[in-house]
Structure 1
Amino acid sequence: MEINYSNIKVIGFDADDTLWVNETYFREAEIEFGNLLSEYETLNTIDQELFKKEMENLPLYGYGIKAFVLSMVESALQQSNYNVSTKTIDAILNIGKDMLNKPVELLDGVEEVLKHFSKKYRLILATKGDLLDQERKLEKSGLTKYFHHIEVLSDKKEANYSRLLNHLDIKPSEFLMIGNSLKSDVLPLININAHAVHVPFHTTWAHEQVTEQETNGKAYKTISSLRELIKLLS
């Protein structure tokens, strides 16, 4: 499917698992959490119940590590029938602190690509999650200088993107979004007549997964690394 990118004036980049490693740390934390609660349930049940709790709390807490920690604490209490020790609760809180203190590990080719495109396009960062944590990661990344605008969204649905583009006075046809999530970084943009490129990460949160039916007939490109974007837009 041929897609014309000649009208693009602004390129938006997702942050987590597009510019730097993120989901890997959540998977590691889930394993630690499962080990802490292994006397109460099987690891598979612990993982499933934690995910259910995250989904239940999503409208209230939103995305990010702090929301994840609150869901872990609540899940631990319920799965242990409120018998979990204060020591275990403290260990769960420390899992969250360790996640917040992780170094920012840039993915391959990120700075090269941002430097290349910042000479021709306006670049924006459009991510979701906890504001303080995302600001911290961006500062540690050293990438702030490449972005004309930075937006931490409460969610990434059509309405969120439409408001962002209106605020920045960008026509959908002039905007290209780059990200690892089909659900958050690709389909909402296609649905508002903007453009999107999918750059898969090796692991995807279950909440971000979509069916083949949802992507069928949608006009977007998938590339294996950000570096391929240079050739795609040349």
Structure 2
Amino acid sequence: MTGNRLSTIGFDADDTLWHNEQFYRLTEGRLAGLLAGHAQAEHVSQRLLEAEKRNLQVYGFGIKGFTLSMIETAIEISGGEVPASVIAEILAAGREMLEHPVDPLPQVRETLEQLSGSYRLVLITKGDLFDQERKLAQSGLGELFDAVEIVSDKTAATYRHLFARHGDGPRHSMMVGNSLKSDVVPAIEAGGWGVHVPHELTWALEHAEAPVEAPRFRRLEHLGQLVELLREIG
């Protein structure tokens, strides 16, 4: 392929195609309620975030790691005195998260249907393999993707590899997602386009500065604007 014509578009899944972070926030609030006798909600949230950050390299991304971090937080905050009944409640909350219904965001299906056939569409998501496969199946969007990649993390090297595997390399590829840190910045570093579609809720560990000076950075208010963007950049 010559020039810079796009051939491949990667899409993030959680909070780009369907709601996800809201379930974490609700469960975090539930944990704060369980530990109300030991600490205020703000302190519980802070300690939980610290545990999640510590445990990423061990448990990876996803609900199972989040559940283990909640248990660890409960033990730490209670000084090891948290009752088994509370641990059982935390485990139940984690199981409920793994069973929550998948609710696609507005204009997602319509946009994917318009792009399918004109571009190679690749779902690129990180997290627990079984849970991400479940959510994709329940979303009803799987048939619109040419490939699905569930990865342990998203780095520039990840995008270089995946866009070479499923397309014509990063220069002819675009990554679309709600996370500047995982979806946008590393895709641009790899040589591709990075399109930020913000979600009202974004995990604190996914925050990053927008690369506003990068010529291949774009920000959209919603996914429905992607088709027009693709027309503009050719």
Could you tell me whether the CA contact under 8 Å between 2:167 and 2:173 is conserved in 1? no
> Is residue 2:162 matched to residue 1:134?
no
Residue 213 of structure 2 aligns with an amino acid whose one-letter code is: G
- Counterpart among 89, 114, 117 of residue 116 in structure 1: 114
- Post-superposition shift, 1:170? 2.7
Q: Gaps spanning 5+ residues in structure 1: where?
A: none
Residue 10 of structure 1 aligns with an amino acid whose one-letter code is: T
Partner of 2:158: 160
Partner of 2:224: 227
- Counterpart among 12, 17, 20 of residue 14 in structure 1: 12
Residue 174 of structure 2 aligns with an amino acid whose one-letter code is: L
In the aligned structure 2, how far is the partner of 1:166 from the partner of 1:227? 27
SS of the aligned residue for 2:160 comes to helix
SS of the aligned residue for 2:47 comes to helix
In the aligned structure 2, how far is the partner of 1:61 from the partner of 1:107? 28
Partner of 2:89: 91
Q: Gaps spanning 5+ residues in structure 2: where?
A: none
- Post-superposition shift, 1:216? 4.4
SS of the aligned residue for 2:104 comes to coil
- Post-superposition shift, 1:55? 0.4
Partner of 2:59: 61
In the aligned structure 2, how far is the partner of 1:111 from the partner of 1:126? 17
SS of the aligned residue for 2:223 comes to coil
In the aligned structure 2, how far is the partner of 1:70 from the partner of 1:201? 26
Partner of 1:217: 213
- Post-superposition shift, 1:145? 0.5
- Post-superposition shift, 1:6? 6.0
Partner of 2:182: 184
In the aligned structure 2, how far is the partner of 1:169 from the partner of 1:197? 18
Could you tell me whether the CA contact under 8 Å between 2:187 and 2:193 is conserved in 1? yes
The list of structure 1 runs, each at least 4 consecutive aligned residues, that deviate by more than 6 angstroms after superposition, is none
In the aligned structure 2, how far is the partner of 1:190 from the partner of 1:6? 14
Alpha-carbon spacing, 1:189–1:135, altered in 2? closer, same or farther (3 Å): same
Partner of 1:48: 46
- Post-superposition shift, 1:27? 0.6
Residue 220 of structure 2 aligns with an amino acid whose one-letter code is: I
- TM-score, with normalisation over the residues of structure 2? 0.94
Q: How many residues align?
A: 228
- Post-superposition shift, 1:73? 0.5
Residue 207 of structure 1 aligns with an amino acid whose one-letter code is: L
- TM-score, with normalisation over the residues of structure 1? 0.94
- Post-superposition shift, 1:42? 1.3
Residue 78 of structure 2 aligns with an amino acid whose one-letter code is: S
Could you tell me whether the CA contact under 8 Å between 2:170 and 2:190 is conserved in 1? yes
Residues 190-209 of structure 1: CA distance to partner in whole angstroms, max 9, x if unpaired? Answer: 11111111100001110011
Partner of 1:24: 22
What's the C-alpha RMSD, in Å, of the aligned pairs?
1.3
Could you tell me whether the CA contact under 8 Å between 2:120 and 2:167 is conserved in 1? no
Could you tell me whether the CA contact under 8 Å between 2:180 and 2:209 is conserved in 1? no
Alpha-carbon spacing, 1:218–1:59, altered in 2? closer, same or farther (3 Å): same
Could you tell me whether the CA contact under 8 Å between 2:8 and 2:167 is conserved in 1? no
